[in-house]
């Protein structure tokens, strides 16, 4: 794009910082948008059936989406000026505090921006400054947002997982991925059905739900992007990381109510590792760690 691979990668990295700033908005607002929609649907149902309304209809609530209202401090409601919203730099300049009320700003805001910038830089370095790199940048942004939302709320929005799934299936069709279309389709189907079977097996055995349907969709999306062959290393890596994190949180008393840990962030982590190092290398490393490698 700019002629030099180094400059192209740097430009992608800067773009990633900007996209990361927007991802922070998505991570914060999308779950709240979903809740407002559910409340509006419940209110409409109650009104239709003559039941006491549990929530105000959406048309009576202030407009709320990814663009409206403008960014503001959750504590003092002060509007954030453009120069206070520059990725990473504004956080450092403000020393991690709101310029109006001085309340602490979470370190995750610059962390998401930096992570997105590094992921975009990697995509440009590996695939060059073209459509394939942009496609994998979109994959990275969607996966990062989904992981953060699931960790915060245990929700994996269809607005993220389903477009991610369809993009993974369309990439081979548009010749933007070397993965055969058949492998992508089989990966999507196997990813969804494998966790669906685990879900129902666990529920029939214990009477409890071990995961949500969003996990099925996210694993299906990863199968579409990497193929059915990648599902085993991704799920093994996610399971090991999830188990270690769960044990650590239990020992520290950090488990949330219900004693569960959302699985989506670990599936996303497996997806990132597969993108960075390749499913084959991940599988070999796991087998080596277990002493099973040839």
Q: State the residue range of the domain holding 55.
A: 1-129
Residues 146 and 268 both lie in one domain = yes
Residues 250 and 177 both lie in one domain = yes
Residues 148 and 292 both lie in one domain = yes
Residue 20 has pLDDT above 80, yes or no: yes
Residues 291 and 161 both lie in one domain = yes
Residues 281 and 177 both lie in one domain = yes
* Among 109, 129, 149, residue at a domain's last position: 129
Residue 212: what pLDDT? 86
Any residues with CB less than 8 A from the CB of 79 and at least 6 apart, and which? 70, 71, 72
Residues 100 and 146 both lie in one domain = no
CA separation for the pair 206, 139 (Å, rounded): 35
pLDDT band, very low/low/confident/very high, at 53 (cuts 50, 70, 90): low
Q: What is the residue whose two structure tokens read 């490393």?
A: 285
Q: Is the Cα torsion angle 283, 287, 292, 294 positive or negative in sign?
A: positive
* Tally of domains in the chain: 2
Tokens for 179?
């993965």
pLDDT tens readout for residues 250-284 = 888 777 766 678 999 999 999 999 999 887 777 77
Residue 39 has pLDDT above 60, yes or no: yes
* Among 61, 95, 129, residue at a domain's last position: 129
CA separation for the pair 249, 261 (Å, rounded): 9
Within a 13 Å sphere around the CA of 85, how many CA atoms are in the beta-carbon half? 17
Residues 97 and 152 both lie in one domain = no
78-115 b/e with 16+ CB inside 10 Å = b? Answer: eebeeebeebbebbeeeeeebbeeeeebeeebbebbbb
Tokens for 190?
């196997």
Residues 207 and 99 both lie in one domain = no
Tokens for 287?
């087998």
Residues 137 and 52 both lie in one domain = no
Residue 101 has pLDDT above 60, yes or no: yes
CA separation for the pair 251, 1 (Å, rounded): 50
Instruction: Supply angle C-alpha 28, 13, 4, rounded to 5.
Output: 160
Residues 27 and 170 both lie in one domain = no
Residues 199 and 256 both lie in one domain = yes
Give the other-Cβ count within 10 Å of 138's Cβ.
16
* Among 129, 158, 173, residue at a domain's last position: 129
Q: Is the Cα torsion angle 245, 164, 220, 118 positive or negative in sign?
A: negative
Residues 112 and 201 both lie in one domain = no
pLDDT tens readout for residues 188-237 = 999 999 999 999 998 999 888 888 899 999 999 999 999 999 999 999 99
C-alpha distance from residue 211 to each of 154, 155, 218, 244, 263 (Å): 9, 11, 12, 17, 7
pTM of the model as a whole: 0.90
């Amino acid at each position: 794009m700019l002629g030099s691979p180094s400059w192209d990668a740097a430009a992608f990295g800067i773009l990633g910082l900007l996209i990361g700033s927007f991802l922070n908005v998505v991570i914060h607002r999308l779950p709240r948008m979903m809740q407002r929609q559910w409340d509006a649907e419940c209110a409409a149902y109650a009104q239709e059936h003559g039941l006491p309304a549990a929530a105000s209809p959406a048309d009576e609530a202030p407009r709320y989406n990814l663009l409206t209202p403008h960014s503001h401090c959750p504590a003092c409601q002060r509007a954030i000026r453009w120069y206070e919203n520059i990725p990473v730099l504004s956080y450092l300049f403000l020393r991690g505090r709101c310029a109006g009320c001085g309340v602490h700003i979470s370190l995750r805001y610059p962390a998401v921006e930096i992570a997105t910038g590094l992921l975009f830089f990697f995509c440009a370095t590996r695939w060059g400054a073209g459509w394939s790199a942009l496609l994998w940048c979109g994959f990275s942004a969607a996966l990062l947002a989904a992981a953060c939302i699931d960790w915060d709320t245990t929700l994996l929005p269809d607005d993220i997982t389903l477009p991610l799934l369809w993009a993974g299936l369309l990439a081979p069709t548009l010749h933007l991925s070397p993965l055969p279309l058949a492998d992508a389709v089989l990966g999507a189907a196997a990813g969804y059905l494998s966790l669906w079977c685990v879900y129902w097996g666990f529920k029939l055995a214990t009477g409890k739900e071990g995961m949500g349907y969003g996990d099925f969709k996210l694993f299906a999306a990863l199968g579409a992007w990497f193929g059915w062959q990648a599902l085993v290393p991704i799920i093994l890596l996610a399971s090991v990381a999830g188990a270690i994190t769960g044990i650590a949180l239990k020992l520290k008393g950090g488990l949330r109510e219900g004693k569960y840990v959302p699985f989506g962030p670990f599936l996303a982590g497996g997806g990132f590792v597969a993108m960075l190092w390749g499913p084959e290398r991940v599988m070999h490393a796991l087998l080596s760690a277990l002493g099973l490698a040839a």
